[in-house]
Amino acid sequence: MAEAQSPFEGFCAATHPDHCVDRHPGRYLVAVYRLGVGADHGVTTGDVSDALGVQPASVTEMLNRLDSEGLLAYEKYRGARLTGHGETLARELAWRQWSVRVFFAERLDLTLDDRTAYRIGYTLPKQGLDRLTDLAGADGD
């Protein structure tokens, strides 16, 4: 079976996402990524708030922080859009979450909520995620 290719590989010379983004802000990047796929407008704080189950004020604070770090462009009333750098990180984190969810579903017949799958995926080193993906018989395509 071919090894799953992480979209993060080689980005910022890291083999683990915590070398590029902390776990908590990464959840917001993934939410903006998922909510923004195919959208022709920015992702609103309300959308992110609903997706993550956090207060809109917390979302605004984090989006401003991620904007200042160059990971997304955020404008009040217009929403947020990922930068190229932010999208690369978000895709990696989403891939990690997906890999964990597929493994737990296929091999253990368990359904993980998004938050738990994200936490596990964020924590595992790439080699662990590659192994989970191989064991689940998923290749990310």
pTM for the whole thing? Answer: 0.81
Domain spans in the chain, listed from the N-terminal domain onward: 21-87, 91-133
Measure CA 134 to chain center: 20
- Cβ–Cβ under 8 Å, residues 28 and 79: no
Q: Which residues touch 120 (CB under 8 Å, ≥6 apart)?
A: 100, 112
Write the CB contacts of 76 (distance below 8 Å, at least 6 apart in sequence): 60
What amino acid is encoded at 23 in this protein? R
Query: Which 3 state secondary structure label does DSSP give 83?
Result: coil
pLDDT of residue 55: 97
Average pLDDT, integer, range 93-121: 92
Please give the structure tokens belonging to residue 67: 């904007």
pLDDT of residue 136: 81
Does the pLDDT of residue 79 top 80, yes or no? Answer: yes
Which CATH architecture is the domain 21-87 placed in?
Orthogonal Bundle (1.10)
